[in-house]
Structure 1
């Protein structure tokens, strides 16, 4: 190079890295690979480079972008929440970078790293490994590296990390459902769908068992049917229930997808909902409105949910005081899928 004033852009071009990477090396405020750091430091020494105030402040420049990492946008729960997050972000002057993990751990890691490299101001993660009952230590270590420079907000949990949590109150959700079903006279109540390795499902199962006892109802292991969160799982779980000698009078589905599958299985076997069996679910997505009958479902006020996630992110970015753990209070939306216990079914 000639004797013109050297800039971080010159250093970046010769080193084959971004100006932001040069800034990270200079400020030592974020992790950079050994090879990149050595290349940049070598050029700094070669040109006796002295960064000016603008270069030093580059790493503090906000992109006004929030990273939104979701399990699968095709699921209406994630879709509804993602849309509300984007609308809330826009109101705050932020745009959203959306990535799906698609239940693929490698994709989850690469998308998180991509967001970090794109210098998002914060990451909000909804679903996938943050939902695990037992946290993945390798993923926690990855997130810890990210949180040294940007905030990480999740609707799940990740033990061993310095993240912000906004969780649905699953214990209260199940209480609301039991209060409603028992008020209708139901005593044979089943719970279908979900995986015990996921914390939200585990909490629902534990609360279900507790509330069966508290309401002096007989707990039956065959009334607790594990599956996943799909329509297919709901169909399979309901099929197994309907093969029992004494079928339940009310069924709780772990989400609306599972409930839709359960409705199909019941209809094929001549079981009418709600006349013969009541059905209730969680999430209150658009599926609850378009199913026949319309589903009674637990709602989480998605606009408020999305606004709160973005509020936490923005306050954390601005280094304002904010609670590390907060809860979303659920409410029950009553439609057509539940009725009083029918004497013909006990």
Structure 2
């Protein structure tokens, strides 16, 4: 697991841009892009759709919706307890690692949400039975659950907009989101809904799939950074270390400006050959390029400006990248793209014009830029 490859952080950023379909853009499908990114956060559906579209040479605004309808993608609670798009065939591996932490069995969780491990197990069995072959709204699901013996007292927890008690059910493969019914979210069973569903593998098997997927898009990374992306550091350190050690010579340590981190062994030479990139990119809110290494990475986002990217209530702003680093934020109001750089400097005019043009193609509207040069 040790190597002598030394790279700069500028090389790392250029390599990530390339691996994530941003340099150059890709001609692959929505489900392939989601798989390449190791999932796409989908708390805000439009942001998830845009995260896929900005990576496509010929953007398809409907690509994510069509993949959800075809059931090659699934929307469910995943990393850090947030809604994500995952490839249907590989979703179980991500969920397995989240379930492995058994957060709902910890005393603090039980005190906060008032549901015992025994109740959670009974709830999971009930929901698995109720949703098998069914697509139900939250209200319909709640009514069906409360009619089950011993579960009548969970009405408040099931109705909570935070959906905390439903997340472990997603992680253990009992539910996922189905197609919207008007303004109402629906739930169903991945077992009966997803043609590519392979169930929930054991965590060791899952780690052997998920860690490489993460490193190929977002490496080099340490186990701690991986776990912060996965579950905000909730995995036991011994377990996390075992997952990485089990990869053996599939991974190698590289040195990034004096710090050591892991990359897949067969990617190390490619990383070392990568030339820094100095171009401009506009990425949407909640983009994996920012979320996967984390907003606390001061090499990516200057510490003094982190609050402009990671905002109140978990909001992650759309960002401006220059040379792969976050140098500002942007917002879309009607047809106006408003840009603000952290230091007030102007952005390259021709590149900015092209990025805004591409963004317009993604959202299906001709856009004009305000600020940023």
TM-score range, shorter chain: under 0.3
| TM-score (structure 2 length as normaliser) | 0.24
Q: Which has the higher contact order (CA 8 A, sep 6+)?
A: 2
